[in-house]
Amino acid sequence: FDVSVWPPVGAERVPLDVGGLYEEMRGRGYAFGPAFRGLRAVWRRGEEVFAEVVLPEEQRETAVRFGIHPALFDAAMHARQLVRPDEAVAGSGGSRTVLPFSWNDVALHAVGASALRVRLVSPAPDVLSLQAADETGELVLTMDSLVFREVSADRLGAAAGAGGDDGSLFRVEWAELPVPAMGSEPVVSWVALAGAEDVAAAAVDAPDLAVLEAYGDGTGHGDEVLALTARVLSVLQAWLVAPAFENGKLVVVTRGAMPASGDADVTDPAGAAVWGLIRAAQSENPDRIILLDTAAGSGLDVLGVDMGPVLAAALATGEPQIAMRGAVLSTPRLVRDTTGAAVPDVSDVPVVFDSEGTVLVTGGTGSLGAVVARHLVAEHGVRHLLLVSRRGPGAEGAAELVAELGESGAVVTVCACDVADRDAVAAVLAAVPVEHPLTGVVHLAGVLDDGVIGALTPERIEGVFAPKVTAVRHLDELTRELAPRLASFTVFSSAAALLGSAGQGSYAAANSYLDAFMAHRRAAGLPGVSMAWGLWEQSTGLTAGLSEIDQARMSRGGILPLTPAEGMGLFDAALR
């Protein structure tokens, strides 16, 4: 692939209506936004096709963030239909729709390109080979082969459906990482940090690696969770502003905080809160912080000599979030969960809500609480609801909601209760009538107090933890005592805890705790489901402050708002 002369000698220019091509591709199911419409010119020489692709002007500054910008890589293959017209995916009357299936021998030779000169050939049907250079002729990318597979219109369109059967339900799977044998990696030196006061002392030697041990005592009580999270925050804040660590990495080590590698239990829920905080910090400070969860009882000590090979192996993976179980390292991946899909009728859902029992909904008078209450009555046949919120009957729309649900045959009790107050929660549960015992809990209560890591304080974290961390502990302890027939315990968590939402460190920490605590309940044989929601289209107390610009930003990041119907479809799918 010699591009010292461009276009290549003997290549003939192919007439190309770029706008028309992309509109035609849209009609066939390939919808490319402005950033991906990078094809500019095409030439042909026998069985070879040459293409010129560029990033749009507004994307070029971001090219340095990637090995190769994904939009540029994608655009490099948009002339594929000209290689084998009989396999056209667009532009020449073909009717087949294909998608990438198997990538083979892809190699990156240079980074940061914003324009490419590309050579495409097809050595076999539905196979594409690619070579790409930059505008100076320097080799950027080679790909021995990309194999395509045909996909039906039905399967392609399934992702655009609604409810819980459209592939929008995900779960976390811990994928094993290929790692070198312990001790084969270069020796790493590090400094251990325990508190913020250690940062200044450690900075004297300016080590490349700092390690922070973040273990709870395993009880998961609110005070312990807050204390551990606040300590980690203080170290993180000091480390981020220390000039000596400007180019270094921080490894935060937890123990039993994640249900990794088939280990369903979480023995340290407080450590899970740390994971939520650090995931947000990672979003705000890319490539600077690593999370490492070790096994409960592993005995690893950040001051011990055995920690060196562990740190070396973890760093060698290149992953920001790692769990170590024995000699196996793994990392969390989101995968589609199809186990709850394709149940044709709600009557086929395993019974988790007893029509004669009472279901408690915290945050029940808010707009999202009302959506859940209506759904429980209409679709699950719940006839006894206990809705609690801080304002209770005085909340806007509470009286109308009670009347509406009453017309549907439900008996609804609304109580003013701060779920962070154990005595208040105990009084509410004790008042549940014996003939309609508490059989279900849906915990929606929560508050936001957003701020970047540098702006957070223990007091701000405590305010966000109260309706999440503190409240769920009260509900857990009290339902064990007062609700022996409890069949379901569902908490509304947030995708911020998993994805790491910049500016939401305290909220991510609180919800990561909920995820871990539900895993802990299940390991103990108790009901527990944590649903990590994205953005709701429904205006709630948590989303009311989002502007159209905020929502557009989240959509660009891949988070699309859920309608109430879609959300409740996912609610049922998650229960299944």
Whether residue 6 is contained in a domain is answered as: no
Q: Name residue 50's beta-bridge partners.
A: 43, 119
The pLDDT value given to residue 218:
74
Q: Name residue 51's beta-bridge partners.
A: 42, 118
Number of domains composing the chain: 3
The pLDDT value given to residue 244:
86
Domain end marker among 335, 353, 377: 335
The pLDDT value given to residue 346:
46
Same domain, 545 and 412: yes
Same domain, 117 and 185: no
Amino acid identity, position 396: E
Same domain, 130 and 188: no
455: domain CATH number is 3.40.50.720
Residue 201: how many other CB atoms lie within 10 Å? 10
Q: Do the strands 289-294 and 321-325 form a parallel or antiparallel pair, or are they unpaired?
A: parallel
Same domain, 350 and 275: no
Same domain, 355 and 290: no
Same domain, 138 and 207: no
Whether residue 3 is contained in a domain is answered as: no
Residue closest to 414 by CA, chosen among 368, 464, 360: 360
Residue closest to 431 by CA, chosen among 443, 445, 446, 415: 415
Same domain, 73 and 147: yes
Residues 56 and 66: beta-carbon distance below 8 Å:
no
The pLDDT value given to residue 145:
94
Report d(CA 576, CA 343) in Å as an integer: 9
Residues 488 and 441: beta-carbon distance below 8 Å:
yes
Report d(CA 364, CA 572) in Å as an integer: 18
Same domain, 28 and 86: yes
What is the domain range of residue 144? 12-158
Residues 240 and 453: beta-carbon distance below 8 Å:
yes
Report d(CA 270, CA 442) in Å as an integer: 22
Whether residue 408 is contained in a domain is answered as: yes
pLDDT in tens, the chain (576 residues): 777 789 999 999 999 888 888 888 887 778 888 889 999 999 999 999 999 999 988 888 888 888 999 999 999 999 887 776 555 443 334 457 788 889 999 999 999 999 999 999 999 988 999 999 999 899 999 999 999 988 776 665 544 443 444 578 898 999 999 876 655 566 677 888 989 999 988 888 777 899 999 998 877 687 899 999 999 999 999 999 998 888 889 999 999 999 986 656 899 999 999 999 999 999 999 999 999 999 887 777 776 667 888 898 899 999 999 999 888 899 999 988 876 554 444 445 555 788 899 999 999 999 999 999 999 999 999 999 999 999 999 999 999 999 999 999 999 999 999 999 999 999 999 999 999 999 999 999 999 898 999 999 999 999 999 999 999 999 999 999 999 999 999 999 999 999 988 889 999 999 999 999 999 999 999 999 999 999 898 655 555 555 555 555 556 666 788 899 999 999 998 988
58: domain CATH number is 3.10.129.110
Whether residue 368 is contained in a domain is answered as: yes
Whether residue 4 is contained in a domain is answered as: no
Residues in the chain: 576
Same domain, 353 and 251: no
Q: What is the residue whose two structure tokens read 């041990």?
A: 213
Same domain, 309 and 362: no
Report d(CA 259, CA 519) in Å as an integer: 7
* Rg of the Cα atoms in the chain: 27
Residue 227: how many other CB atoms lie within 10 Å? 15
Report d(CA 12, CA 45) in Å as an integer: 6
Report d(CA 345, CA 399) in Å as an integer: 31
User: Looking at the whole model, is its pTM more than 0.85?
Assistant: no
Whether residue 316 is contained in a domain is answered as: yes
292: domain CATH number is 3.40.50.11460
Render 468-486 in DSSP notation, one character per residue: IIIHHHHHHHHHHHH-TT-
The pLDDT value given to residue 91:
32
* Cα three-residue angle 150-66-333, rounded to 5 degrees: 60
Q: What is the residue whose two structure tokens read 């709850």?
A: 340
Domain end marker among 286, 310, 335: 335
The pLDDT value given to residue 38:
93
Same domain, 393 and 542: yes
Give the largest CA-CA distance in the chain: 88
Report d(CA 459, CA 235) in Å as an integer: 16
Asked if the bond preceding 7 is cis, omega within 30° of 0, the reply is: yes
Q: Is 299 strand, coil or helix? A: coil
The pLDDT value given to residue 180:
66
Same domain, 311 and 389: no
Residue closest to 397 by CA, chosen among 370, 376, 419: 370
Domain end marker among 93, 124, 158: 158
Distance from chain centroid for Cα 314: 21
Residues 82 and 88: beta-carbon distance below 8 Å:
no
Whether residue 5 is contained in a domain is answered as: no
Residue closest to 421 by CA, chosen among 467, 356, 359, 365: 467
Whether residue 379 is contained in a domain is answered as: yes
Extended strands (E) in 374-437: 384-389, 411-416
Report d(CA 454, CA 333) in Å as an integer: 28
Residues 55 and 69: beta-carbon distance below 8 Å:
yes
Q: Is 408 strand, coil or helix? A: coil
